[in-house]
Structure 1
Amino acid sequence: MHQHKNTKPYILLVEDDVKLRNLIQTALLDADFQVICATDGLEASTKLKNQKFSMVVTDLNIPKKDGIKLANEIASSANIPVLLITGELENFEIRLKALDGVMLLPKPFKVEIIPALVAKILKTNTKAA
């Protein structure tokens, strides 16, 4: 019998585009994740301080603090995996090389792949503490 955790993973979704945020949130909820949303980097930081998340899914272009700054912050404090959605890959890969646990998802993408990606990343990152 494999272990069944009854605690669903909490995902922090950071996206200022309402339509995309709703699509991603619905996809994740359908896949049995708990989803908390933030609309900008500052709100995301506050939520990360107040609650434990299994993972963060964030757009690169978000107001007040971009996805890179947020990912850097998470890497240094929360140490949880980040899925970074980006439309402009070239400029940012250099700034991201140092970040462990950050996966890039280039736009355009099919929203359906997000829950699968999240599940895969969580599985990979679930190291026995």
Structure 2
Amino acid sequence: MIKIPVEGIATDAAHSTKNKITEFQGIDLRTGKRIFYQNLGNKTVNIGEFLGVVEAAKYIIENDYSPRIIYTDSITAIAWFQNKKTASKKKCKELQKAEIFLKTLAWDVDTIEVRHWNNKEWGETPADFGNK
């Protein structure tokens, strides 16, 4: 019996080389509703995945959201979030702001759990853009 998560926030990003658009979104697993979305312009999928997780953390803190759990299928985003620092070579104001947010509110951010969404067992995350 595969137990797919039903509570928390699922995040995902997509990058279109054709349209030069990187976007991310977050879905409340309990309601299935999109709680945030952003078009970043032409970045990378890793940047989008990371910023999606950071946006979910902001949402949890600002809205006293419970449970304090975020799901992403990006190992890179999880590592960058836990390190509170990216390994991106791209100059990007959004990344700078995200790192500052994570470090400044570390006492609160560290109470949020970021878990890996297991695509193999559970299928695509509910936040997936469906354009593969």
TM superposition score category, shorter chain reference: 0.3 to 0.5
Q: Which has the higher strand share?
A: 2
With the length of structure 1 as denominator, give the TM-score of the two structures: 0.34
With the length of structure 2 as denominator, give the TM-score of the two structures: 0.33
Higher RCO (CA < 8 A, seq sep 6+): 2
